[in-house]
Amino acid sequence: MASEPPTPSASSPLDDLMAASEQPYEARRRPKNRVKRRKTTVTGVLGEILITGGVLVLGFIIWQPLWSATVVADKQREASQTVSSQWRDQAETQAPAYDGEIPIPAKVDPGQPMGVLYVPAFGDNFQSTIGETTDLPTVLNVPDLGTGRYEKTQQPGELGNFAMAGHRSGWAPTPFREIMNFRVGDPIFVETPVGWYTYRFRALEYVLPTQSDVLNPFPRLEGVEVTDRLLTMTTCHPKLAGSEERVISYAVFDSFQPLSDGPPQELMDLNPNVKG
């Protein structure tokens, strides 16, 4: 009977350790398939910095308009609602009887609220407090205000040109961001301590920053007898961080309503936040 071949004995852990120790030192020290580490260069570091900077800039560009159109706009709306409520409470007890003559609001100190602007073309719930002067630190860049009246122009309801300024882009309030939404006949409402002034949009114009004659009692003309009540809005152009030009909105006076009579019905129909 043929004998079976001998079965190889299983190696012990000690045998494996001894076999490994017999390999050259370099072979045991260096792992197989090791990836060679890339050498750091100045060009590579600069590239990573530029990519990171580009991502941050892109994020800022996206964040900035969202911030001003949501958080800052909400702040403006809340502040203007507070001002409006105070005026309406006062009108119930202190407002003079309306005799048919269009009243002119009293002037206020620089930096103080002189009106509240409602423009349905800028959004269903748009409203912004109008401050006296167009000073950046005290009016145009202040979340509680944001819209400013040019001091040398006329008051709401007065013959001549009631002119305002506001930002269109940036981190500060941007009440005039959607000025290009205007269509002929769109209403513009201005609330003051004495009443509501309604204007109707007529036209847009592009001018250079140096063309300040848009603020004349009759815009762009000198020495003309003024027989109309006008409203002018000025802001930067183009929309996204541009200031090479100015876009100008012109409107004409349509009607007046005493504050004690409540908001115009048309405004209440267009803006769900405005109640009688």
Given the residues 149, 167, 168, 237, select the one marked as catalytic.
Answer: 167
Distance CA 201, CA 185 (A): 5
Residue 133 designated active-site: no
CA-wise closest residue to 174 among 236, 82, 87? 236
CA-wise closest residue to 114 among 73, 90, 84, 76? 84
Given the residues 215, 236, 248, 267, select the one marked as catalytic.
Answer: 236
CA-wise closest residue to 263 among 164, 190, 186? 190
Taken in order 103, 230, 131, 265, the sign of the CA dihedral is: positive
CA-wise closest residue to 196 among 267, 271, 134? 267
What are phi and psi for residue 70, nearest 5 degrees?
-120, -70
CA-wise closest residue to 156 among 122, 130, 174? 130
In the numeric block, which tokens belong to residue 6? 């001998």
Helix (H, G, I), strand (E, B) or coil at 14: helix
Please give the radius of gyration of the chain, using alpha carbons only, rounded to the nearest integer.
Answer: 35
Please give the angle made by the CA atoms of 219, 77 and 184, to the nearest 5 degrees: 35
Residue 237 designated active-site: no
Which residues are known catalytic residues?
167, 236
